[in-house]
């Protein structure tokens, strides 16, 4: 860092150097060593981030550039905050370090205080060694021209420009809290900066902290008024003389400050400062290593007068921009943003992929559940619809079956009535009717009429529409009644019926008319299937099996068998293979059986034909 050079020191240095040039014992040049000796006079102890970085880079740069081994001796000549030991003590110390070893090929200074010290005392130490003043603010060299054996790599810190940057990114800023260290260092910088900041008067208030302890500074930065910013220049030591490293001071300020921190030099970036237009120490150390190498290679220092280094392009810390809500659109043109956070994707790629997978899976599961719920509702409403259909169809189907059966059943008694009436009529006409015969024929006519009335009555009962009214139903009787209704068709088509019914009563809780419809449908389908095959093999077997909790009735035929096309849709409405079929019989049958808590399954018989098995809950009170 740079330091103020005072004219009187400069004069003293000149006088001393003149004296020392003439001093005996210093005139004999040492033999040139194969190892290059470099004495580096440091301004501050370790802890100053810019100087530490500069020195580290410089050391590496010398090793890279100089073709001989470089032996660097470092001596701190100015304690932090200019609380220096007397010059003479430092000189004695350096002399003792170099006792018995070759004098330095180059004396370098790092920072302002060391530059001031060197120019004051170099001639007392190594008057013939070239002197390179490095990393020094031009302000320290004001008014003192470089000698022939001197060169300097200077910088022009443009701190007012950094204030401009603050106002650009935070236009509402009204107060800037200046952290510059205390003692001579703080005084120097306050004196140097105040005139430059004058142009902001009216718009900004500058609060100086060179009279405060570090603890006070921390308290103050935690409670700054709204629209404040902090300007960190350097620290060194506080008003009590306590020396602190930049990294620690910045970390503490960053932790407690309620306003953004701006730093004067690039090495502060990454330590909690927002950023701005700052001197690049890396560039400075590179340039310095170049000049030092050239001097070590024999170029006269007077020929090396590099222009002062100006602040580089503005650099900002992305994390601080985020923290203080500073949009990147406000940054000065050409700004570089460092420490940009990794994108959510790059940082959590695996987690994001897993989350998306889980979400997809979850969505699929939810979708599937919704689908199943809808399907269940649809099935339920279809079932209800089919049951209604069943009740209607039951009546219509029953009606047609009953009509057919009634016609057939009535035919016999009515034709008997008719024949008897005809016979009686002829006998009366021919006066052949005896009273006994007349009475006998009239009794037959009466019996026929009664039989017809009974047939009507039975069919009327069956035709009466009813809701699902459960009662204990003997399914063997239901089978008998159903067969009676289709007996005419059976006979007509020469179908052989065999019953294999259990000895135990086959009783369920159900609606007898609907259950009759079930077996009527199954038997009529069997008849239809049988009419398609030769008469000789037409057979229907109805069997019942009684289990502990359920009864099972099978209607097995030797007909055409089930068409493979409709096996999966057998119980759906309007599925039929018959030219005049409605395709509703099995739908109705299935619905009735389901409504009774039972099940129906169809099998293809190994020897041909089909078997439909109906399982229904066994009535609890049924005896066995």
> 6-13 — which CB contacts under 8 Å span 24+ positions?
6/116, 7/143, 7/144, 9/116, 9/119, 9/120, 10/119, 10/120, 10/143, 10/144, 12/120, 13/119, 13/120, 13/121, 13/122, 13/123
| Of positions 321, 485, 529, 553, contacts ligand ADP by CB under 6 A | 529
| Of positions 537, 563, 569, 624, contacts ligand ADP by CB under 6 A | 563
| Of positions 525, 541, 558, 615, contacts ligand ADP by CB under 6 A | 525
Token duo for residue 374 = 């809808």
562 is a contact residue toward ligand ADP (CB under 6 A): yes
Instruction: Write the CB contacts of 462 (distance below 8 Å, at least 6 apart in sequence).
Output: 398, 402, 513, 516
> Cβ of residue 526: shortest distance to ligand ADP, in angstroms?
5
User: CA–CA separation, 535 vs 321, rounded Å?
Assistant: 98
Token duo for residue 21 = 């040039």
User: CA–CA separation, 95 vs 103, rounded Å?
Assistant: 10
> Cβ of residue 354: shortest distance to ligand ADP, in angstroms?
51
Piece of the chain touching ligand ADP by CB under 6 A; list 416-424, 426-434, 469-477, 557-565: 557-565
Q: How far is CA 439 from the centre of its chain?
A: 101
272 is a contact residue toward ligand ADP (CB under 6 A): no
> Cβ of residue 590: shortest distance to ligand ADP, in angstroms?
9
161 C-beta neighbours (distance < 10 Å), count: 16
> Cβ of residue 360: shortest distance to ligand ADP, in angstroms?
43
Q: Determine the size of the site formed for ligand ADP (CB under 6 A).
A: 24
295 C-beta neighbours (distance < 10 Å), count: 23
Piece of the chain touching ligand ADP by CB under 6 A; list 9-17, 88-96, 298-306, 584-592: 584-592
| Of positions 155, 331, 575, 593, contacts ligand ADP by CB under 6 A | 575
User: CA–CA separation, 11 vs 108, rounded Å?
Assistant: 20
What is residue 154's DSSP assignment? E
Please list the alpha-helical segments (H only) found in 272-348. 281-296, 318-323, 344-347
Piece of the chain touching ligand ADP by CB under 6 A; list 183-191, 216-224, 236-244, 558-566: 558-566
> Cβ of residue 612: shortest distance to ligand ADP, in angstroms?
7
> Cβ of residue 575: shortest distance to ligand ADP, in angstroms?
6
How many residues can be counted in the chain?
Answer: 624
Cβ closer to ligand ADP: 355 or 577? 577
| Of positions 196, 306, 357, 581, contacts ligand ADP by CB under 6 A | 581
> Cβ of residue 485: shortest distance to ligand ADP, in angstroms?
16
583 is a contact residue toward ligand ADP (CB under 6 A): yes
Contact 77, 275 (CB under 8 A): no
User: CA–CA separation, 252 vs 266, rounded Å?
Assistant: 19
Contact 22, 128 (CB under 8 A): no
531 is a contact residue toward ligand ADP (CB under 6 A): no
540 is a contact residue toward ligand ADP (CB under 6 A): no
| Of positions 301, 473, 557, 598, contacts ligand ADP by CB under 6 A | 557
Piece of the chain touching ligand ADP by CB under 6 A; list 394-402, 413-421, 507-515, 578-586: 578-586
Piece of the chain touching ligand ADP by CB under 6 A; list 97-105, 201-209, 297-305, 563-571: 563-571
Secondary structure percentages of the chain, helix, strand, coil, to 5: 50, 15, 30
16 is a contact residue toward ligand ADP (CB under 6 A): no
Cβ closer to ligand ADP: 478 or 610? 610
400 is a contact residue toward ligand ADP (CB under 6 A): no
Contact 295, 106 (CB under 8 A): yes
Q: Where would I find the beta strands (DSSP E) of 237-278?
A: 261-263, 275-276
Piece of the chain touching ligand ADP by CB under 6 A; list 93-101, 222-230, 525-533, 616-624: 525-533
| Of positions 610, 614, 616, 619, contacts ligand ADP by CB under 6 A | 610
> Cβ of residue 601: shortest distance to ligand ADP, in angstroms?
12
User: CA–CA separation, 165 vs 331, rounded Å?
Assistant: 8
> Cβ of residue 462: shortest distance to ligand ADP, in angstroms?
20
Cβ closer to ligand ADP: 444 or 557? 557
Piece of the chain touching ligand ADP by CB under 6 A; list 16-24, 134-142, 473-481, 572-580: 572-580
> Cβ of residue 400: shortest distance to ligand ADP, in angstroms?
12
543 is a contact residue toward ligand ADP (CB under 6 A): no
| Of positions 586, 593, 616, 619, contacts ligand ADP by CB under 6 A | 586
Token duo for residue 160 = 């007012």
576 is a contact residue toward ligand ADP (CB under 6 A): yes
DSSP labels for 573-618? Answer: TT---STT--S-HHHHHHHHHHHTT-EEEEEE-TTSSEEEEEEEEP
Contact 320, 274 (CB under 8 A): yes
DSSP labels for 473-494? Answer: EEHHHHHHHHHHHHHHHHHHTT
Q: Across the beta sheet with 36-42, what order do the strands follow?
A: 70-76, 36-42, 106-110, 131-137, 150-155
Contact 110, 51 (CB under 8 A): yes
Piece of the chain touching ligand ADP by CB under 6 A; list 243-251, 266-274, 334-342, 518-526: 518-526
Name the closest residue to ligand ADP (Cβ). Answer: 585
Piece of the chain touching ligand ADP by CB under 6 A; list 231-239, 447-455, 556-564, 591-599: 556-564
490 is a contact residue toward ligand ADP (CB under 6 A): no
User: CA–CA separation, 406 vs 453, rounded Å?
Assistant: 11
234 is a contact residue toward ligand ADP (CB under 6 A): no
Cβ closer to ligand ADP: 480 or 561? 561
526 is a contact residue toward ligand ADP (CB under 6 A): yes
β pairing state of 275-276 and 315-317: antiparallel
577 is a contact residue toward ligand ADP (CB under 6 A): yes
585 is a contact residue toward ligand ADP (CB under 6 A): yes
| Of positions 130, 183, 276, 559, contacts ligand ADP by CB under 6 A | 559
Angle at which helices 475-492 and 349-429 pack, to 10 degrees? 60
Cβ closer to ligand ADP: 595 or 610? 610
560 is a contact residue toward ligand ADP (CB under 6 A): yes
What is residue 299's DSSP assignment? -
Given the rule CB under 6 A, which residues bind ligand ADP?
521, 525-526, 529, 557, 559-563, 566, 570, 575-578, 581-587, 610
């Amino acid at each position: 860092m740079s330091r103020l050079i005072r004219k009187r020191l400069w004069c003293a240095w000149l006088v001393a150097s003149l004296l020392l040039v003439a001093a005996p014992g210093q005139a004999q040049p040492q033999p040139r060593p194969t190892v290059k000796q470099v004495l580096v006079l440091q301004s501050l102890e370790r802890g100053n981030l810019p100087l530490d970085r500069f020195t580290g880079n410089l050391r590496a740069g010398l090793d890279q550039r100089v073709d001989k081994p470089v032996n660097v001796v470092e001596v701190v000549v100015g304690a932090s905050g200019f609380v220096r030991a007397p010059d003479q003590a430092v000189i004695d110390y350096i002399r003792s370090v170099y006792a018995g070893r070759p004098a330095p090929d180059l004396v370098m200074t790092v920072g302002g205080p060391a530059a001031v010290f060197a120019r004051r005392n170099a001639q007392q130490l190594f008057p013939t060694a070239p002197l390179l003043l490095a990393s020094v603010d031009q302000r320290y060299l004001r008014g003192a021209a470089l000698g022939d054996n001197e060169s300097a790599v200077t910088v022009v810190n443009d701190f007012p420009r950094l204030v401009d940057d603050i106002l650009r990114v935070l236009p509402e800023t009204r107060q800037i809290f200046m952290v510059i260290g205390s003692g001579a260092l703080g005084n120097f910088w306050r004196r140097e900066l105040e005139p430059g900041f004058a142009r902001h008067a009216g718009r900004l208030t500058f609060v100086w902290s060179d009279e405060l302890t570090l603890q006070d500074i921390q308290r103050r930065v935690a409670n700054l008024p709204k629209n404040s910013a902090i300007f960190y220049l350097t620290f060194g030591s506080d008003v009590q003389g306590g020396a602190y490293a930049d990294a620690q001071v910045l970390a503490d300020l960053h932790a407690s400050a309620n306003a953004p921190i701006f730093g004067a030099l690039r090495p502060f970036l990454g330590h909690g400062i927002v950023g701005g237009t700052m001197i690049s120490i890396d560039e400075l150390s590179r340039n310095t290593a170049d000049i030092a190498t050239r001097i070590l290679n024999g170029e006269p220092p007077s020929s090396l007068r590099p222009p002062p280094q100006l602040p580089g392009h503005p650099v900002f810390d992305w994390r601080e921009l985020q923290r203080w809500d500073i949009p990147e659109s406000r940054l000065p043109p050409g700004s570089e943003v460092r420490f940009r956070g990794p994108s959510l994707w790059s940082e959590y790629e695996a987690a994001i992929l897993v989350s998306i997978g889980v979400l997809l899976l979850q969505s699929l599961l939810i979708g599937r559940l919704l689908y199943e719920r809808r399907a269940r509702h649809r099935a339920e409403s279809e079932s209800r619809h089919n049951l209604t259909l069943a009740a209607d169809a039951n009546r219509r189907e029953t009606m047609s079956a009953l009509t057919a059966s009634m016609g057939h059943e009535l035919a016999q008694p009515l034709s008997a009535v008719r024949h008897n009436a005809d016979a009686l009529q002829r006998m009366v006409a021919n006066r052949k009717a005896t009273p006994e015969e007349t009475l006998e024929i009239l009794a037959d006519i009466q019996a026929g009429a009664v039989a017809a009335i009974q047939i009507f009555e039975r069919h009327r009962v069956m035709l009466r529409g009813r809701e699902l009214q459960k009662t204990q139903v003997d399914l063997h009787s239901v089978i008998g009644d159903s067969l009676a209704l289709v007996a005419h068709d059976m006979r007509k088509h020469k179908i052989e019926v065999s019953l294999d019914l259990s000895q135990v009563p086959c009783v369920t809780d159900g609606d007898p008319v609907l259950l009759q419809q079930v077996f009527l449908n199954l038997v009529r389908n069997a008849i239809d299937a049988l009419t398609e095959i030769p008469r000789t093999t037409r057979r229907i077997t109805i069997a019942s099996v009684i289990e502990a909790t359920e009864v099972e009735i099978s209607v097995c035929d030797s007909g055409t068998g089930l068409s493979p096309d409709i096996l999966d849709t057998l119980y759906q409405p309007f599925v039929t293979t018959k030219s005049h079929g409605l395709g509703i019989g099995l739908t109705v049958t299935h619905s009735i059986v389901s409504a009774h808590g039972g099940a129906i399954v169809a099998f293809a018989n190994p020897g041909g034909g089909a078997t439909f098995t109906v399982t229904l809950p066994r009535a609890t009170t049924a005896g066995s």
